[in-house]
Amino acid sequence: TGTPEIAGLNTIQALEIIRGCWGLNLVGCDLVEVSPPYDPSGNTAITAANLLFEMLCVLPGVKRR
């Protein structure tokens, strides 16, 4: 939507959710709404890359169909 969410998830909460997916029956994962033009410091891009890395680390541990 492009609209910032006040009091949305912080990085620690997002990591807990991602890591909590270990052992679940997942098909895939996605990360949306990262806009480098609105991130001059690069902090959001680095955080997004870390979250995607965690998602990739969890995928091998998910249940297979």
CA dist., res. 56 & res. 3, Å (int): 27
Query: Residue ranges of the alpha helices (H) in 2-64?
Result: 11-19, 43-58
Domain boundaries, the chain: 11-61
The tens place of each residue's pLDDT in the chain, 65 residues long, gives 567 777 888 899 999 999 998 888 888 888 888 887 888 999 988 999 999 999 988 887 766 65
Looking at residue 51, what is its pLDDT? 94
Give residue 2's pLDDT: 64
Contact 42, 4 (CB under 8 A): no
- What pLDDT does residue 10 have? 87
DSSP character at residue 35: -
Q: What's the CA dihedral at 54, 25, 9, 34 to 10 degrees?
A: 60
To the question of pTM greater than 0.85 for the whole model, the response is: no
